[in-house]
Amino acid sequence: MTPPNELRLPLPPPPPAPDERPWKDRAGLLDERARAMGALARWYLAPHRALLLWLSTLVFALGWSLAVSGFQFLVKGEIIEHVLGVIFLGLALGATVPSSLGVASGIRRDVFVGACLRDWAELERDPQTLPHWRVSGGALLWLGPSIVLACLGLALGGFAAFSDVGTESVGTVAGIGLVFAAAGALGMAKAIDYYRLVGRELRPLRPDTGGPDAYGPDAGYAEGFPEGPSEDCSDGGPSDDGFCND
């Protein structure tokens, strides 16, 4: 996956292809995987990115309110209302366009970083390295307020649909509710994606999946790495030099 042009941060790239992986053993893979996932998870769930999303949501909601008011002024037919309508629409463009572009840019970055995080997670599974990339505080910061914001948006939408508010207010309330619900859904999706990776890391391996925990602590390397010399010889075991007798 090609990173967005505006993503110029020192983040780990996606993992290399299977035939280009430089790790000689599972320990090297797990160490590199933990470092990469730690950097990606901390960026993915950074608190300042949540604040930027909420700020952009409020600015866009303000722009939507100004746009609705501007259109209402334009349809009244008076000169002064037309002037006010043009002013309000200009302010609405100044609020909605930058905020929507900022959110779109953030979504592109999140898609790329989230895909990298999932690709690194799928390489292996090791609960012992989970503390190196666990950011529970950041995930809760994204999840809790996002749920509140989504519920508030749904409540505003229901209020606009089923209450007796005037037609001039329905568009404003419904639009703000839709914006809040969409922003809350974005935040919840990021937090749920992270918790899904944590749950995958903690889920016990089945015996038929391979891996170091499938058959106990002495199961050897995970699938894809070389194992030591086999001691299973059909004629009674290996000789002193470690090879099977002919």
Q: How many structural domains compose the chain?
A: 1
pLDDT (tens digit, 9 = 90+) per residue, 116-130?
999 999 888 888 888
134 lies in some domain: yes
139 lies in some domain: yes
* CA atoms 199, 209, 37, 3: torsion sign: negative
231 lies in some domain: no
246 lies in some domain: no
21 lies in some domain: no
> Could you tell me the pTM of the whole model?
0.75
Inter-residue contact 34 to 132 (CB < 8 Å): yes
Q: Please identify which residue in the block is written with the tokens 């302010």.
A: 91
42 lies in some domain: yes
212 lies in some domain: no
Inter-residue contact 165 to 159 (CB < 8 Å): yes
User: Three-state SS string across 85-131, please?
Assistant: HHHHHHHHHHHHHHHHHHHHHHHHHHHHHHHHHHHHHHHCCCHHHHH
Lowest mean pLDDT among 98-102, 120-124, 189-193: 120-124
At 245, the pLDDT band (50, 70, 90 cuts) reads very low
pLDDT (tens digit, 9 = 90+) per residue, 15-43?
887 777 777 777 888 888 888 999 999 99
Domain span at 158: 29-203
Q: What is the DSSP string of 2-20?
A: PPPTT--S-PPPPPPPGGG
Q: Cα separations (Å) of 130 from 33, 59, 143, 161?
A: 10, 37, 20, 46
Residue type, 14: P
